[in-house]
Structure 1
Amino acid sequence: MAKSVLHTIESNMSTFSKGQKLIANYILENYDTAAFMTASKLGKMVHVSESTVVRFASELGYDGYPSMQRALQEMIRSKLTSLQRIKASNDQLTGQDVLSAVMQSDMETIRMAIEEVDRNELARVVDKLTHARHIYILGVRSSSFLAGYLNFYLHLLFENVTLVQSNAAGEIFEQLFRIGPGDVIIGISFPRYSKVTLNTIKFAADRGADVVAITDSELSPLYQMAGAALLVRSEMISFIDSMAAPLSLLNALIVDIGVQMNRDISKTFAELEGIWDAYSVFGKMDDE
C-alpha cells in the first residue's frame, strides 16, 4: 500500500533543516489547508522562502512542489465536504480565466495518465475481460456515466455484459445473485468513494468473482479488493469531479480490446452496419 505524504514527512523529520521542519510541522498540523496553498503562500505562512518549500518537496522524493501538492490533495479528497471543495477550488480559481484553468487541468491529468498508467496491468485487464464468463460493470454517483459509457461499447463487443443499476442497494445484490468464479466485475470509483460500490464489490469478491478496479490510487479502498487495477487521477474542480482522464483511459481500454479481438470485431460491426442501414438508424445528409 502506498504511504501517504504525511507518513513520509513524519519518517524523515529528523533529517530536515530548521526551515524544512517549519514546513513539515505546518503541513502535519494543517494538511487540509496546505494542500491548496501555492509554494509561495506556504513559504510566507511559515516564514521561509519559496525555494525552501520547493526543495522540501524534492527532499521528500517528489519531482516538484505541484507533485507534493497533488499527493496532499489526493489524500484528503475523500474527506472533504462539497462546501470545503468549493472553498478550496474557488481560492485557486480566483482571478483566473476559468475556461483555460479547467481545460488546462484536464489536459494535465491526461498527460499524467499517459506517463503513469501501467501498460502491463492494462494488458492483464484486457485478458481478463476477453476470457470472462460474464462481465459486470458498476459505477455510482459521478462514476455512473463512466460505467454506462463502458457498458455501451463492451455490449457491442461481447454478449455477456451487465451494467449493474444502482437504484437501490437491495436491487444491486439481486442483479449479482448469480455472480461467481469465472466472472469479472469492473468497479469504478473515485473520491469520495461510494460505500454502495465498496460493499457491492466486496460481495462480488466473496462470491469468487474477479475484481477489476478503475480508481485513482493505491490508497483507494477499491484498490485493496482488486485482482487487477487501472489507476488514473480524477481532478477535483469546485463541487465537481473532472473525469477527463478516466474517460480517456476507458477509451484506451475499449480500443485495446478491439485490437485484440481483431477479426471478431470486424464481423460484428459489419453485421451492425447492415442492420443500421436496413432500418435507417442514422439519418443521411441529402446530396447537394
Structure 2
Amino acid sequence: MNDTSPAARLQQLFEGHRLTPTQRRIAHCMVRRAADVPFLSSVELAELAGVSQPSVTRFAVALGFDGYPALRRHLREVAPAEPAEGKQEFTEYQQAVHAEIENLRHLAELLADPGPVERAARLLAASRPLPVLGLRAASSQARGFSYFAAKVHPDVRLLDEGGSMLADRIDAARRAGATALLCFALPRHPREVVEALAYARGAGLTVVTVADSAFAPVAAHSDVLIPAAVGTGLAFDTACAPMLLGRVLLEAMCDDLPDAQARLEEFDVRAAERGLFAD
C-alpha cells in the first residue's frame, strides 16, 4: 500500500518502537493532529496530549531523535506545509465534519490492503458463537454490529454490560465453542475492557479489535487490531470511521459464511409476511 497521508507517515515513524503508555498517548495525539504536529511546540503538543513537556522530549528521544526540535524538523521535511492562501474558513461544526471526512479518507487508504480485514473476517465468521464486546462509548458500535451480524451469523452474543458477570459470559461463550471475540474500543478506554480482553485471550479466544488508534491501551491484548480514528472536534467524540469499519468487517464475513445470502433472503421473506417494515 502506498499511503502518503501525514497520519500514515506518522504511523510508520512509530512502528517498531516499544512505547510507554504515556508515549502511546502522545503518538495517538500526533496521529489525530497529523497536519498540525510539524508546527506545534513541545509545550503545545504536551497540552494537547495531556502530558508533561518533559514527556514529549523523552518521547522524541525514544524515537531516535536528539530531542523534540529534531523530531519536528524531520516532520517538516517529510510533510511540507501547504500554502495558506485561498484556504476557506469553516465554522466549528463544519470543521468537525471535515475532520470526520479526513478520518474516513485515512480509513480508505488503510483498506487499500484488504489483508487485515479479510483475516479478521475469517476468524470472526468461524467462531460459533461470536461474542462482540463494547462498553460505554463503544457500546453502540458493538450493538449495531451485532444487530446486522445476527442476520448472517448463527450465534452472535452481545457483551455491552460490564461488571462481575462479564467474565462469566466470556467463559460461557468459550464453553459453547467460541474461538474469537470482536471488541470495539473507543476513548475513553474503560479499564474493564482492557482487563476483559486479557481475560478472553487467557481463556483461549483470538481477539479482533476495532480501536481508535493502533496505540490504544487494548493493543497489547489484541491479536488483530484495525484502527479507525474518532473525531474530537465536538464536546463528545464522533465515530463514523469505526462504524464504517464494522460494516466492512461484516461484508468480508459474508464471504466466509456460505449461507449468508440464504439467511438474508429468508429474513426478507419473513419480514414481508409479518409486514415488519413500512417501506
TM-score (norm 2): 0.69
**Is contact 1:139–1:187 with CA below 8 Å preserved after alignment?**
yes
Q: Quick one: which of 269, 276, 281 aligns to 2:271?
A: 276
Q: 1:116, CA displacement in angstroms?
A: 2.3
**Is contact 2:183–2:208 with CA below 8 Å preserved after alignment?**
yes
**Is contact 1:179–1:207 with CA below 8 Å preserved after alignment?**
no
- Whole-angstrom CA distance in 2 between matches of 1:207 and 1:269: 32
Match of 2:147 in 1: 152
Q: 1:139, CA displacement in angstroms?
A: 0.8
- Whole-angstrom CA distance in 1 between matches of 2:199 and 2:70: 46
CA RMSD of aligned residues (A): 3.2
Match of 1:196 in 2: 192
Q: 1:179, CA displacement in angstroms?
A: 3.7
Q: 1:38-61 CA deviation, whole Å, 9 max, x = no partner?
A: xxxxxxxxxxxxxxx999646148
1:175 aligns with 2:169: yes
Runs of 4+ in structure 1 over 3 Å off: 1-4, 53-58, 60-63, 179-182
- Whole-angstrom CA distance in 2 between matches of 1:190 and 1:64: 28
1:33 aligns with 2:47: yes
Match of 1:232 in 2: 228
- Whole-angstrom CA distance in 2 between matches of 1:198 and 1:233: 18
Distance 1:230 1:183, change over 3 A: same
**What is the aligned residue count?**
222
Q: 1:170, CA displacement in angstroms?
A: 1.1
1:102 aligns with 2:116: no
Point out the structure with max Rg over C-alpha: 1
1:258 aligns with 2:248: no
Which structure 2 residue ranges, 5 or more long, are not aligned? 1-13, 24-38, 51-67, 82-88
Distance 1:276 1:195, change over 3 A: same
Distance 1:109 1:162, change over 3 A: same
Residue 165 of structure 2 aligns to which amino acid in structure 1? E
Which structure 1 residue ranges, 5 or more long, are not aligned? 8-22, 37-52, 67-94
TM-score (norm 1): 0.67
Q: Name the SS of the counterpart of 1:178 in structure 2.
A: helix
Q: 1:217, CA displacement in angstroms?
A: 2.5
Q: Quick one: which of 135, 144, 147 aligns to 1:140?
A: 135
**Is contact 2:124–2:181 with CA below 8 Å preserved after alignment?**
no
Q: 1:129-157 CA deviation, whole Å, 9 max, x = no partner?
A: 12113211111111110000110111111
